[in-house]
Amino acid sequence: HASFVIATIETTSVKHVIRMITPIPI
């Protein structure tokens, strides 16, 4: 369960960073 939670947090962080870098909202 821990690894799944970590993977989810990492994915969310990546999406957040991409949204901040990309001028076009996805």
**In the chain, what's the furthest Cα-to-Cα distance?**
34
- Dump pLDDT digits (tens) for 1-26: 678 898 899 999 998 888 888 877 55
Per the structure, how many domains does the chain have?
1
- Count CA atoms closer than 13 A to 16's CA, side-chain side: 6
Residue 26 confidence (pLDDT): 56
Collapsing DSSP to helix, strand or coil, 20 comes out as helix
By residue range, what is the domain housing residue 19? 1-26
Is 0.75 surpassed by the pTM of this model?
no
